[in-house]
Structure 1
Amino acid sequence: MPLTNSIYNSPVFQQACNQFDAAADILGMEAGVRERTKQPRRTLTVTLPVRMDDGRVLTYEGYRVQHNISTGPAKGGIRFHHDVTLGEVAALAMWMSWKCSLVGLPFGGAKGGVVVNARDMSTGELERLSRRYMQEIATFIGPQLDIPAPDVGTNEQVMAWMMDTYSNHVGHYDPGVITGKPIALGGSLGRREATGEGVAWFTKAYLTDLGIKASETSVIIQGFGNVGSETALALSAWGAKIIGISDFTGGVYNKAGINVKDALAYIAANKSLQGYKGGDSLTNDELLVQPCTVLIPAALERVITDKNAGKLQCRLIAEGANGPTTNEADKIIAERGDIELIPDVLCNSGGVIVSYFEWLQNQSAYYWSKEEVFEKLHRMLAKAKASVDETKAKYKCSRRTAALVLGIARVAEAKAKRGLFP
């Protein structure tokens, strides 16, 4: 009897399961293998007491979900966000499994999260929370077991604290336990830019397929954090016009174009886009439906829904975020037939690819130039794009389903070949 998934029950986990089932149906996957492939391997829930600057002790809840370790060590980010749920973390871990498999990495999928608004914390409080989380999960991770990375609400500095905590736990410096670290601690050149670089690469590649030139391209990016800003820099350098950006405070829209570097300087000085005078102020929801060539959701899940999918005015959607389009919205976009969509497991895979490169460099203690990193990255992105497009044509399915078919099939085959432990 299939599991009920009661502990993972959430809209985003159900969304991931629905996507899986559509791909598994095409593959004709046998029921036993289907359930083994879909369900997370193991889940850890931790309680995190943290002493605040004023002397109070506040307790936070954290998670680590390892979805698949049949194809190698688990891999996936750590998210600090006030809306984190176990179901969300499980869905993100599942998508990481398919993403790693799709692009040919020797990793399974994992994800971590802490329910916290990190923006409200001082640097000291954030460090204590980061170290406590790592201390609690340390026996479940390692360079050959599970390798975390940054995600929403975390960054290079958080990874540095976590790597240091783990190294103290095992008694020696061990940079391979985490990726997305500062360069001085074994980070890879190009890792900070990698996800945005990949989103921009796929955007340019599919626009070229559509016969659309850089000079004819206008771009709206919902979510101007690491992924969104690096994507904006890469696309503006290519010659595209960035006409809309947003963060958690709202959006800015300027049909004449936004100066990306000026916007980034404003955020660096003011901690958000709020008050930025580079265009008209809009809500995040309003920004999504403005006319543009390319729409890039680069924030959180489930922002393109059945409520706004019919109102979108773009030619291409490039999913910089994980799970930004609901199942219902996917159906509406498919029925419209006028929008091409680059799915998340393909579009934002640049980050985990360069995380893999960082892990390799840590294992060998030999480090590459940024040019070498990007050359290898672009080669892997091109191979993945060709495979997805070929599979899409073969099964006459959506690009998302084609990407999932490839990723899921490889994980399922590994599980079937390895068999069940007696």
Structure 2
Amino acid sequence: MTTAEAPSHLRENPFELAKAQLRRVGEVFAIDPNLIGVLSQCKKGVEVSIPVSMDDGSINVFLGYRVTHNIARGPSKGGIRYHPDVTQDEVKALAMWMTWKCALMGLPFGGAKGGVICDPKHLSRGELERLTRRYTSEIINDIGPERDIPAPDVGTDGRVMAWIFDTYSMNKGHSVLGVVTGKPLSVGGSLGRVEATARGAMYTIQAMAQKQDKRVDEYTVVIQGFGNVGAHLARLIHGQGAKVVAVSDSRGGVYNPKGIDVPAALAHKQEAGTLEGLANAEAVTNEELVELPCEILAPCALEQVITERNADRVKASVICEGANGPVTPTADHVLEDRGVLVLPDVLANAGGVVVSYFEWVQGLQEYFWREEEVNAKLHDISVRAFEETWLTRERQATSMRMAAYGLAVQRVAEATTTRGLYP
């Protein structure tokens, strides 16, 4: 059996969207078209066949990818996702977006991404481990602490990263802490990594609130996605006094205009595995959720949630992109025309890769930091990137996304020019 022909949840080709964004950045910031041409292509990619012995004695053959977009600023960095709708072009787009994200945050990395077409919810622990170890063995010559450093993404977690770390290390004959980030603390993970993406988003929202002369506790918030990013963001922003009026997972959402009991929602999700049936809240679909009245909408699940089909019905005044690519370029124009402020993914959800960078550094040094240090350094980098983006937005009279992408692409273009072309 093969899973190669998995259907895609995406309405538009994400890599074509990513390249269109890049071309637009080149026009707005007057970047050499030759450099834009170079940056519009991925450096390399591998497609691997992953045969796995299943618990029932059968053999399933899964399809996996690992793509490196760019290494002008350093080794490539990016997550691995396990999802039934993974496509090669999705992985290529995500790798490109990782390049811009790392550059915007000032990290010495290029962008990469990996993915396996599978549904981890339908795999046993043993099947998941065998899949991960075989996938790692297939890409083992393409990853490494000075080459390409994977991390968790949709459908993967610290346990999966530990298997990758162990498989790589066993093949090298010694433990290589820096080969992967997002590891459990017991095998070289970093304090603060689990909630880093959400914490970075919260720091971005706090910085935006200052620009708007507001406090975080004045905002009403809707969060789509209640996994690693969405659940932690709900907890953190609720702790800052914001009113979270709706949250959702893959099965649907819950809404209460007076405010969701976030601790109760977290406990219910942990116990029941879903938000369905949460007390004192009405059920809504994920489609309805993004159109609910609120100040801040935080899509924290998958790509292309807000499109030209629903952008004119979004009632939020601010969109904080906790996921990668949740707003399509066409929807971006609609939102911009309506005066909706979009905090783009390369800025808003970069906390994860920032603390992954910290974990990589700690692993190479074999010296680990206190959680307060990690969070303080994350705050400094997040706020600095926000301020640089906000200033560029004002100078260029453009959107936050265009400002963020402009800064990032210029930095990668400068590194490319400085290094020159070989030979």
Match of 1:20 in 2: 22
Match of 2:292 among 272, 290, 293: 290
Match of 2:279 in 1: 277
1:253-286: CA deviations, max 9, x gaps? 1112112222122222222223333411111000
* Cα distance in structure 2, aligned partners of 1:321 and 1:302: 10
1:16-61: CA deviations, max 9, x gaps? 1111111111232223221111210001100001111111100100
Match of 1:211 in 2: 213
* Cα distance in structure 2, aligned partners of 1:216 and 1:421: 54
Q: In the alignment, does 2:364 pair up with 1:363?
A: yes
Instruction: Name the aligned partner's letter for residue 152 of structure 1.
Output: V
5 Å matches for 1:320-331? Answer: 320-331=322-333
Match of 1:341 in 2: 342
* Cα distance in structure 1, aligned partners of 2:214 and 2:28: 32
SS in 1 for 2:149: strand
- Residues 37, 415 of structure 1: 8 Å contact kept: no
Match of 1:6 in 2: none
SS in 1 for 2:342: strand
* Cα distance in structure 2, aligned partners of 1:10 and 1:233: 33
* Cα distance in structure 2, aligned partners of 1:199 and 1:13: 24
5 Å matches for 1:14-413? Answer: 14-337=16-339, 339-413=340-414
1:79-113: CA deviations, max 9, x gaps? 00011000000000000000100111000000000
Q: Percent identity?
A: 48
Superposition CA RMSD, Å = 1.2
Instruction: Name the aligned partner's letter for residue 52 of structure 1.
Output: M
- Residues 207, 386 of structure 2: 8 Å contact kept: no
- Kindly state the Cα deviation for residue 216 of structure 1 after the two structures are TM-superposed: 2.3
- Residues 101, 410 of structure 1: 8 Å contact kept: yes
1:119-157: CA deviations, max 9, x gaps? 011111111111111111011000000000000000000
* Cα distance in structure 1, aligned partners of 2:179 and 2:279: 42
TM-score normalised per structure 1: 0.96
Q: Mark the runs of 5 or more structure 1 residues left unpaired by the alignment.
A: 1-8
- Kindly state the Cα deviation for residue 76 of structure 1 after the two structures are TM-superposed: 0.2
- Kindly state the Cα deviation for residue 10 of structure 1 after the two structures are TM-superposed: 5.7
- Kindly state the Cα deviation for residue 311 of structure 1 after the two structures are TM-superposed: 0.6
TM-score normalised per structure 2: 0.96
SS in 1 for 2:368: coil
1:338-390: CA deviations, max 9, x gaps? x2110100001111000000000001010000000001110111111111111
Q: Mark the runs of 5 or more structure 2 residues left unpaired by the alignment.
A: 1-10
* Cα distance in structure 1, aligned partners of 2:134 and 2:114: 14
Instruction: Name the aligned partner's letter for residue 56 of structure 1.
Output: S
Instruction: Name the aligned partner's letter for residue 142 of structure 2.
Output: F
SS in 2 for 1:75: strand
SS in 2 for 1:374: helix
- Residues 26, 33 of structure 2: 8 Å contact kept: no
- Residues 10, 88 of structure 1: 8 Å contact kept: no
SS in 1 for 2:194: helix
Match of 2:421 in 1: 420
- Residues 190, 374 of structure 1: 8 Å contact kept: yes
SS in 1 for 2:71: coil
- Residues 252, 280 of structure 1: 8 Å contact kept: yes
* Cα distance in structure 1, aligned partners of 2:243 and 2:259: 6
SS in 2 for 1:114: strand
- Kindly state the Cα deviation for residue 417 of structure 1 after the two structures are TM-superposed: 1.6
* Cα distance in structure 2, aligned partners of 1:308 and 1:151: 26
Instruction: Name the aligned partner's letter for residue 328 of structure 1.
Output: T
- Residues 12, 87 of structure 1: 8 Å contact kept: yes
Match of 1:5 in 2: none
SS in 1 for 2:114: strand
